[in-house]
Amino acid sequence: MDSSPRDFAENLLPDHFLRDIFEVMLIAWESVVVPDWNTNEPRITALWNIQCREVNKMFAEFGPIFDFFHEAQENDPETGKQLCRKDIEVRLYVGRGFTHIKYGSTARNAPYLIVESKKLSNNSDITEYLGSKGMGRFTECRYESDKAFSAMAGYIQPEQDEAIKQALVKCLNESQTVRQIGKFQLWSILPQYPGHGKTRHKIGDDEMDIFHLMLPTTVQTQESRNFERMAEETKKQAGKKKRLPKNKRNDGE
């Protein structure tokens, strides 16, 4: 008997594709360089999503099995009104063509994985990370998300890596608002990328894992910015020479 796309999703997707997706995302993050720490979160996420798609193409020997989408829009199915925008949404190719099947879901338009992102530099940022516009989007069911797993990404301010991680873990373990079961745990789905973690949450009668990607941010140096400006100026000057008027080009002939 032929299995349906949903049977395929339920039987094969959870562990295997989460591992692959997170590996692509963590490799991609190594290439993300922001102009400065004042760069806003949507811009950082957009840069990361671009790198995710590039890495995914290189790793997919027979074509990508999943793909990444930045600020994917979710609309009310009855009114068409926009409900929210998801920072990063991962969708799967299942069977022929492009589908949106997700593990354990009956909704064909649902993503496989949703990632919510926040910049982290102080305690107020951590409060927002745990709040209704952070983890609350999953624990309060603000996103149409699979209750099996979701992900949070924290863009950590340079040189504050360990302090921010420790403060975040402490707040996660002490929080009374995110329906957490037990304590923050380091996760070993990718042992070559240590320092990330997951928490488990009670959502109605179900449980959900939220994976936490803790991402130290690389900021472009002043020297690098100066070099780029010089390169851009050289490129402009070269372009001007190519566009000389015809009579000027003929003067030397």
User: In the chain, where are the structural domains located?
Assistant: 5-220
pLDDT band at 9; cut points 50, 70, 90: very low
Q: Does 92 or 13 have the greater pLDDT score?
A: 92
Please tell me the pTM assigned to this model.
0.77
Higher-scoring residue by pLDDT: 48, 108? 48
- Does residue 55 surpass a pLDDT of 50? yes
pLDDT beyond 80 at 57 = yes
Q: Is there a contact between 154 and 163 (Cβ–Cβ < 8 Å)? A: no
pLDDT computed for residue 50 by the predictor: 95
Inter-helix orientation angle 41-59/5-29, to 10°? 110
Q: Is the pLDDT of residue 49 over 90?
A: yes
Helix ranges, 79-199 (H): 123-130, 136-139, 161-174
Q: What is the DSSP letter of 141?
A: T
Mean pLDDT of 31-49: 94
**Higher-confidence position of 210 and 141:** 210
Do residues 209 and 196 lie in contact, with contact meaning Cβ atoms separated by under 8 Å? Answer: no
Residue of higher predicted confidence among 121 and 102? 121
pLDDT mean across residues, the chain: 78
Over 60: is that where the pLDDT of 201 sits?
yes
How far is Cα 108 from Cα 102, in angstroms, rounded to an integer? 8
d(CA 23, CA 90): 13
Percent of the chain with pLDDT over 90: 40
Q: How many CB atoms are closer than 10 A to CB 12?
A: 13
In this prediction, residue 44 carries a pLDDT of: 96
Exposure class string for 55-76: b at 16+ Cβ within 10 A, else e: bbeeeeeeeebbbbbbebebee
206-249: per-residue pLDDT in tens? 889 999 999 999 998 755 555 556 666 667 776 666 665 555 54
> What does the pLDDT look like over 142-170, one tens digit per residue?
776 555 889 999 999 988 889 999 999 99
pLDDT of residue 204 exceeding 70: yes
Kindly give, in sequence order, each residue whose CB lies less than 8 Å from that of residue 108, ignoring residues fewer than 6 positions away. 99, 100, 101
